[in-house]
Structure 1
């Protein structure tokens, strides 16, 4: 079953985040059209319309990425997740209403910056909470289900936004609203719905306590055989992957002209990627728990190279839809497994700060992809997608050389030697899970450990080239 082995609060959080994902994805479709309309003007920073669109869309990821590390550290120090999620959602809803008053490029950029700052609190709180609520050996499955719910909303938003904008204006109680105004109001309403759902259905773990925030970002591993810290390397790979999947949105007018289509078909193409993610992420998360998270990340990045490049060669809407579906499938092999692997490598009480490395990187990748696409489109339709393929290849090399395999549920059930090259046991494991599992920071100058329910740390040494810390799961 889809929710088998999934904490009910994780499923509830995914449902709540599905609503605010609708709010966010509305804007990805609406803002490029709004900027291209007669309703927005003023000083354009000396940039082309496509470049302005990329800048406004990309500002969200840039600002969001700056705020997230601070929000993550503060969440760890306070020992609070739900409060941070709610704070971010309230800011998102209120600020989204301000788009109805933004009629200049400068105003749009300012609203986008404020929106990004609020969203940072929701993101770090959500990802840390999912990691902490996940049962032993089921982090990939829980991450997959959470992302599946959230991405369903992210995919439904563009479809609804394209329909709302295309069929405006609307008359409600004697007042006339443009398609853009209706989209902004609908986006804000979805954010406030998410606030109500989180407040009603989601709670922090009972044993969540304030922690010191001495952990966080580490760039280098301090080991001879690896240059980068594994979580940092996963973050860079996530940045490159996110850049690949967001190349389409800032060049919507160019795509529509090349393929001879309108906003609705573009929304279908955008949502095709999300739809595949929704279907496959829970399955990929479950399988990665069993066969190794790193292996799935590597396969996903490998497949991302050709499907990103081919987007720059399509000439018909059905071709773009097909390629986006394929891209969603391979990206599903990266999303949940990467977060699950980082969660295993994270230190106790540092989930907010250390998992923010991946969420920050993903946000920067979203921003980078949009900016890259907006600027490179002048060199031809293929140029943005070719650059994306190169980034995917760079991510593949990073994970292959710098990230060891984490401990999956099956791996934790055996005392046999672990093969660090792919993160799975050399021989079949027993079917009965062992509550004692390994949590390692391979490639770091220290071993990470998790505290058991009795507050004591347990440890054992493996005869491998790396040092592992094995402790009881909370």
Structure 2
């Protein structure tokens, strides 16, 4: 019995060491990952809370003839469009100044203030202004955070660093919506000081607190890398065509287009819950599981795939991920059971995980010193636009048939796979004798 206990403990601690080894990165990358996880929890809270807030008639005012559902859609979409639109500007400006940390703190400060501002919002117009300011605030965070991770990494571990960063960020993004609905419905809350706050107020306070926690983590634990210098004299423009002449399109621009296509395909599912539930004759619980399947696959696979692309090259993973995205997207329009929809979403999550970290790592390999903010913002901006375009596309196409939005996403994924295969070359000298997909 004692021998069995020792064996079990040895295997347990071996597993713990293995898991810790997966996150063995620069402490600043790990701290930044935890900070993004904290602000991700609060920010994703609002995806659930804002529609409930509007539907509860807490706010009012001029609607310009729009229905409630359209108002909610505009408020939520405004965040994504402003966030993505401002990312190239903040990324480029952070390259000019060389101050990544300061940009992240500005964004987190803005996020904390705007989360509290919801407590005083009484009109639809005020919600639009607050959500728009949040989008601009997050535009200060995303490109500079990714640039900071890129500069703290080396060519040999860039994929692993990107994987760890994305893993924790997605944990926060996935956890927020799960908790938000419960916190709102469990209100009002009686505080020890004699105050009573509603469930909505509690959610906004928690969102603000998570942003403050993230702010403190960055303030205390993050420093700009010693190699980061202001790059005011550099040409930080983004080429559309390949300046070397080897391919038609510039590889970073190509990866941006691919990110846009991929994000649009994976975001088609989000806003057609009633149609999905009717088609599969299922309830909201199954839809929640299917929606979560994509995120679960991302959380589990981001770090190991990031590590693997440091060994075997970036391009094979990106190409294979886009190829897998094709059938997994089409399958969602053809499935007839809840279980197969869950499986299709899970496979789509695997495809996304194979693209995210390797694409950022490849773009980071190509970015010169002091150019990370500008170059990587192309990918983060494009992904943000795709996340905003996807729901709008599925909402417009679903009336033509259940399969149509997913067929549209399938075409986009196939086009993205062709772009990567033909326009992007490997940047890593691989240390293992594994053939690169598409190479002779």
- The answer as to 2:203 corresponding to 1:203 is no
Q: Which runs of 5+ in 2 are unaligned?
A: 1-17
User: Which among 250, 253, 261 is matched to residue 283 of structure 2?
Assistant: 261
Residue 13 of structure 1, CA deviation: 0.9
Alignment of 1:215-294 (within 5 A): 215-222=236-243, 224=245, 226-252=247-273, 255=276, 260-262=282-284, 266-294=287-315
Residue 276 of structure 1, CA deviation: 1.4
Q: Which runs of 5+ in 1 are unaligned?
A: 427-474
Residue 387 of structure 1, CA deviation: 2.3
Q: Is the 8 A contact 1:151 1:274 kept in 2?
A: yes
Q: Is the 8 A contact 2:262 2:413 kept in 1?
A: yes
1:9/1:107 Cα in 2 relative to 1: closer, same or farther (>3 Å)?
Answer: same
Matches of 1:68 and 1:123 in 2, distance apart? 7
Residue 177 of structure 1, CA deviation: 3.8
Q: Is the 8 A contact 2:316 2:436 kept in 1?
A: no
Residue 381 of structure 1, CA deviation: 4.0
- TM (normalized to structure 2)? 0.86
- The answer as to 2:331 corresponding to 1:303 is no
Alignment of 1:379-398 (within 5 A): 379-398=400-419
Partner of 1:27: 46
User: Which among 134, 140, 156 is matched to residue 121 of structure 1?
Assistant: 140
- The answer as to 2:98 corresponding to 1:79 is yes
Bigger helix share: 2
- The answer as to 2:224 corresponding to 1:182 is no
Bigger strand share: 1
Question: Aligned with 2:217: secondary structure?
Answer: helix
Matches of 2:253 and 2:66 in 1, distance apart? 33
Matches of 1:76 and 1:253 in 2, distance apart? 45
Residue 380 of structure 1, CA deviation: 4.2
1:56/1:175 Cα in 2 relative to 1: closer, same or farther (>3 Å)?
Answer: same
Question: Aligned with 1:228: secondary structure?
Answer: coil
Matches of 2:276 and 2:256 in 1, distance apart? 30
Q: Is the 8 A contact 2:23 2:30 kept in 1?
A: no
Partner of 1:471: none
Residue 61 of structure 1, CA deviation: 1.8
Matches of 1:320 and 1:261 in 2, distance apart? 13
Residue 70 of structure 1, CA deviation: 1.3
Matches of 1:348 and 1:202 in 2, distance apart? 19
Residue 143 of structure 1, CA deviation: 0.5
Residue 319 of structure 1, CA deviation: 4.5
Q: Is the 8 A contact 1:261 1:317 kept in 2?
A: no
Bigger Cα displacement from structure 2, 266-275 vs 134-143: 266-275
- The answer as to 2:171 corresponding to 1:152 is yes
Question: Aligned with 2:248: secondary structure?
Answer: strand
1:378/1:162 Cα in 2 relative to 1: closer, same or farther (>3 Å)?
Answer: farther
Aligned residues: 418
User: Which among 377, 382, 385 is matched to residue 361 of structure 1?
Assistant: 382
Alignment of 1:301-450 (within 5 A): 301-313=322-334, 318-410=339-431, 422=438
- The answer as to 2:29 corresponding to 1:10 is yes
Question: Aligned with 1:153: secondary structure?
Answer: helix
Partner of 2:74: 55
- The answer as to 2:150 corresponding to 1:131 is yes
Residue 322 of structure 1, CA deviation: 3.2
1:299/1:419 Cα in 2 relative to 1: closer, same or farther (>3 Å)?
Answer: closer
Partner of 2:131: 112
Residue 407 of structure 1, CA deviation: 1.3
Question: Aligned with 1:195: secondary structure?
Answer: helix
Residue 106 of structure 1, CA deviation: 3.0
Residue 101 of structure 1, CA deviation: 3.3
Residue 52 of structure 1, CA deviation: 3.7
1:128/1:41 Cα in 2 relative to 1: closer, same or farther (>3 Å)?
Answer: same
Bigger Cα displacement from structure 2, 21-30 vs 138-147: 21-30
Matches of 1:36 and 1:290 in 2, distance apart? 50
**RMSD of aligned C-alpha atoms?**
2.7
Q: Is the 8 A contact 1:288 1:408 kept in 2?
A: no
Residue 348 of structure 1, CA deviation: 1.9
Matches of 1:326 and 1:228 in 2, distance apart? 29
Q: Is the 8 A contact 1:294 1:405 kept in 2?
A: yes
Residue 223 of structure 1, CA deviation: 5.3
Matches of 2:241 and 2:306 in 1, distance apart? 28
1:166/1:305 Cα in 2 relative to 1: closer, same or farther (>3 Å)?
Answer: farther
Q: Is the 8 A contact 1:79 1:208 kept in 2?
A: yes
1:21/1:257 Cα in 2 relative to 1: closer, same or farther (>3 Å)?
Answer: farther
Matches of 1:91 and 1:300 in 2, distance apart? 35
1:145/1:108 Cα in 2 relative to 1: closer, same or farther (>3 Å)?
Answer: same
Q: Is the 8 A contact 2:80 2:385 kept in 1?
A: yes
1:162/1:304 Cα in 2 relative to 1: closer, same or farther (>3 Å)?
Answer: farther
Question: Aligned with 1:311: secondary structure?
Answer: helix
Matches of 2:98 and 2:219 in 1, distance apart? 17
